[in-house]
A and B are shown apart, each in its own frame.
Chain A
Amino acid sequence: MELILSLGIGVMTGSGVWLILRPRTYQVIIGLSLLSYAVNLFIFGVGGLKVNAPAILTDGVAVSAYSDPVPQALVLTAIVIGFATTALFLVVLIASRGLTGTDHVDGREQSQ
């Protein structure tokens, strides 16, 4: 499970980094989304991976039987904030497309 998770994070981060370095705004936004998914998984992972472990305490159960609730709370916040800022970025991206007539990140096509 650790291997799959870390591979998943790695692949998404790699693709994300590659995409945000591309010249098209659409590629940039997809890259940022992929990166934020990778980061969300990463945050989730720092709490330690556990299967079928609840995060809510009940009496008489050893602490080691729980999963860490803090990263879950953090990841929830990060998802919400990431979602909102991506939506905002999308608006700017469309405005830029409308104003410049191109989807190049510099607002103009590179001269050939």
Chain B
Amino acid sequence: MTPENPRLDVDRIIDDRRARIIVCCGSGGVGKTTTAAAIGLRAAERGRQVCVLTVDPARRLAQSMGLTSLDNTPRRVDGVSVEAGGSMHAMMLDMKRTFDEVVEAHADPARAAQILANPFYQALSSSFAGTQEYMAMEKLGQLRTSGEWDLIVVDTPPSRSALDFLDAPERLGRFLDGRLIKLLLTPAKATRPFTKVLNAGFSVVTGTLTKILGAQVLRDAQTFVTAFDTMFGGFRERAEATYRLLQAPGTSFLVVAAPEPDALREASYFVERLDEERMPLAGLVLNRVHRPTATRLSAARSLAAAETLEPMPNGSSAAESSQPPSQLPEPAPADVVAAAALRLHAARMNLGEREQRVAVTFTSAYPAVPILEVPALPEDVHDLAGLRRVGELLADEP
């Protein structure tokens, strides 16, 4: 489609032993999880020790990898060819359990129990606003540190914005460092003389908060924040370590998109953001591209041909005929099928052209980003054979 953009070579990435982490990111509904799983399988069958970390897979896709429950532990995927000496594990993220484990690792048992029981902690650890992204990165860090796998393929959460997973640790950090938290912590800490004036202002605000939220909510929030504050240093260190991991040379980002304006807009933001953060972008996987088979036949000619084969809906024929409509013979059954096939082809050509136009808005802005187009599949992937097929398409094998 775009001769200027280099072709994304997935095999070169997975065959390079220095590649340790591949992050698949992009907006929701573009086939990120399938892409991650297919890359994982292909890498395993080419000799890598792979772990695929998925966040929210389709049920049948999860089943295709033998994942039946959200148990937070990598499970070996059966049916993967081991001829090349590789292996594949896969796991689904349980964000609440991952969060609980982090708390348990950083606080003494009594304090950990206090945090785990706090209603604010429970809301935080089971909500979807940023926690999932944060915990996915946390889990990635854990898997990487364990050293059991030489390639980890991560599927990022279906965020509102594709960038959320980069920002989540930072946001939680900023929040815990924020002024409101300092304020909530103040009553629990020893009051020093020079903070007296400040405290007068604070009490107005806490008074307001009490009015809105009620005293109990405020007390719970204070307890939570106080307990959390003691282990926050550990949190921040971990988040920074994961961030550095994402900038390390062994990491590649694959941006996944569909040829739709919204998905490609997200992809553009992502490409720019990765550049700002000095995170290595491997390229763009453009999924679900509709490629007509008979590209020689344009939409216009295809429609014109369809019209010559069938009577017009209003009764007149497109064929040059002076006969009154009522005397027109019924079209032959073969012509009906041919006309339908021609109309279908015209619609596909139009869709294909629209997708090209949308894709060009991306490629013209980022001519250096390697791109790979993956055709839309008529059916969903629900077994390893299907994933293998997607892997072949990703490697541009016909």
Please indicate whether A and B come from the same complex rather than being unrelated chains. Answer: no
